[in-house]
Amino acid sequence: MDVDKQETMEETILTGDDLMREPPSPAIPKEIASHVLQGVEPCDGILRNLFLCLQINDIEPFCQDEIVFYRQCAAKRDKEIREKMVDSEYKLRISMPLEEGKERTTQLQLEVTLLERHTRQ
């Protein structure tokens, strides 16, 4: 996957997350990002429509359809990303030497713990 496209998709996800009240989209490790994001709908067109609606109408109540469409797209996208991450991490882990795999598992578990603490606050 093109690095620019990956960065654009990550920006879209982060921007959309700012609008949502659900848990944030998963953080994707750089080592597997190109594989995980390949073929995933970024929802950027729907997000643009939502921003346009908010810009035109100036208040949120007139944009409920756009908000619902974005939430549905983001939920589907995040589910797909999580499934691909599990698959990619598994493939990466079995291709690594045992010690590197153990270190990576420990590192990812620490990151998950930090993210869980951060989202609870």
Could you report the per-residue pLDDT of 12-70, keeping only the tens digit for each? 555 555 555 566 677 788 888 888 888 888 898 998 999 899 889 877 788 899 989 99
pTM for this predicted structure: 0.65
Q: Which helix (H) or strand (E) holds 90?
A: helix 64-95
Q: How far, in Å, CA of 11 to CA of 5, rounded? A: 10
Tokens encoding 102: 């153990």
Could you report the per-residue pLDDT of 58-88, keeping only the tens digit for each? 777 888 999 899 989 988 998 998 899 888 8
